[in-house]
Amino acid sequence: MKKNKDIKVVDLFCGVGGLTCGLKKAGLNVVAGFDSDETCKYAYEYNNKAKFECADISNLDSKEILKYYNKNDIKILVGCAPCQTFSKQTNKYKDRVKDKKWTLLNYFTEHINKVNPDIISMENVPELTKFDIFDNFKKNLEEKGYNVSYKIVNCSEYGLPQKRKRLVLLASKLGKIELIKPNPRKKKRTVEDVLKGLPYLEAGQVDKNDPLHRCPKLSEINIKRIKQSKPGGTWHDWDKSLLPECYKKPSGATYSSVYGRMSWKAPSPTMTTQFYIYGTGRYGHPEQNRALSLREGAILQTFPRNYKFFKNGDTITYKVLGRQIGNAVPVDLGKIIGESIQEHLKEYCID
């Protein structure tokens, strides 16, 4: 088998480096990441010791990717195109196709065709499989000689402390490739397993020893609401006087997944880009009267606790950091993808 230095990985749509970090934990040599969001540069490079290229994938010349590979390298190209447009939260087809993100998977295909990597990984929301754009992506790979497999993954089954479901596709020209199976004997990790013991915070407070461990203030009525919220419960636990007007209508009964408090004894809900806002999901702390802190969201996304998202002295905004953390591929899912690629290389890559 070729030595690890001859195996090179480039990460498209890399963000702050969740996937890259996981692949590196699995022993893969990630040399560069490409993303159009320049705010991700510091975190990506500082934590992963790989080059960040600020670039719009739709306008990128594939030669810029190829320059990170040598002629005889085993070339691995990975990517998670922004997925909001394929999410079940985007209800109307006409809204999807108007979104620029709709075509990003096609640009990923173009780069694959020009770079001709040996191995590919693509991660996205499960809903993507319902659309022609996914079928075309998969068909192109098969026509180019790739062995392709894909799976809808429940991250909690792989030991992540989050009920996140993701589509993971793997493709290889070396031979058959599949995602490794979860260990059925491995205990599912819960919110308590990873968050218990972090410093106490009031709503609007910042931990003096960790500036990422901070949460927004709550309005007076939301303080009353969260005090009446039970772990794993809904707003049905509140006094009627605390209900928003829309929830008092019969149609309001469908809004059961907002204004919730998480349970210590279960994995968390899916982290979105607004996990720090109490009213956007089940993001209330299990026992403290506040929403999740930015650090807690990062931990539930399985980023290492020492992962730095900004330089000392930088201005911190919830919107930017929430987007960076919520959009990331969970690090431990990246590690599972990396371990699957390593197993594949052991089987097929011989001197």
Q: Which domains does the chain have, with CATH numbers?
A: 4-184+330-348 (3.40.50.150), 191-327 (3.90.120.10)
C-alpha separations of 311 from 39, 120, 212, 262, 270 in Å: 11, 32, 11, 31, 27
> Does residue 278 have a pLDDT over 50?
yes
> Does residue 290 have a pLDDT over 80?
yes
Q: Which of 70-84, 108-122, 215-229 is predicted with the least confidence, judged by mean pLDDT?
A: 70-84
| pLDDT at residue 83 in the model | 55
Query: How much of the chain, in percent, has pLDDT values that exceed 70?
Result: 89
> Does residue 347 have a pLDDT over 70?
yes
| pLDDT at residue 146 in the model | 98
| pLDDT at residue 249 in the model | 62
| pLDDT at residue 100 in the model | 53
Residue 349 appears among annotated catalytic residues: no
- Taking only the tens place, the pLDDT of each residue in 177-202 is 999 999 888 889 999 999 999 999 99
What φ, ψ does residue 150 adopt, rounded to 5°?
-145, 160
State whether residue 287 is helix, strand or coil. Answer: coil
C-alpha separations of 64 from 10, 42, 43, 115, 117 in Å: 11, 20, 21, 10, 14
Catalytic residue among 40, 83, 155, 215: 83
Average pLDDT, the chain: 90
Dihedral sign from CA coordinates of 14, 16, 22, 25 = positive
pTM, two decimal places: 0.92
Q: Could you tell me if 298 and 325 are in contact, meaning their C-beta atoms sit under 8 angstroms apart?
A: yes
